[in-house]
Amino acid sequence: MGSLGPGWQALLLRDAKAVLEVTPDPGLLAGLDVGIVGFHDEAHESDIEVRAFFPGNAGLTEDPVTGSLNAALAQWLIPSGRIGPRYVAAQGTALGRRGRVHVEAEDEDIWIGGRCTTVIDGSVTL
């Protein structure tokens, strides 16, 4: 399998509430690409809550939606039996965003999808 981009380190927390309560320590996470995940209860519209932290230009940054992390989590959570082959991940909640990542495993492939909002549009002329 090819690279998914960053070399994510992931932690499974006790539940989605614990994920949302995390206040990351920039010193502890310096130089790392770290994802955290926890399960929502059955009443929630999403199955899991995801957060992604990585080194940015101004220090530790949190990404509102991260395809590469969600793909990496699926490669861990689905084969381990922690979640089924089709689920929805909430991400961006702690940032006041409502990201929803749709994940589906089909044979050996994992598909990551969802909707997006264009915030910058343009072109480069060489």
Give pLDDT tens digits along the chain (126 positions).
456 678 899 999 999 999 999 999 998 898 899 999 999 999 999 999 999 999 988 889 999 999 999 999 999 999 999 999 999 999 999 999 999 999 999 998 999 999 888 888 999 999
H-only helix segments in 12-53: 16-21, 26-29
CATH architecture of 9-113: Roll (3.10)
Q: Kindly tell me the burial class for residue 2, based on how many C-beta atoms sit within 10 Å of its own C-beta (0-12, 13-18, 19 or more).
A: exposed
Tell me how far apart the alpha carbons of residues 17 and 33 are, in angstroms, rounded to a whole number: 21
State how far Cα 19 lies from the chain centre: 11
What pTM does this model have?
A: 0.89
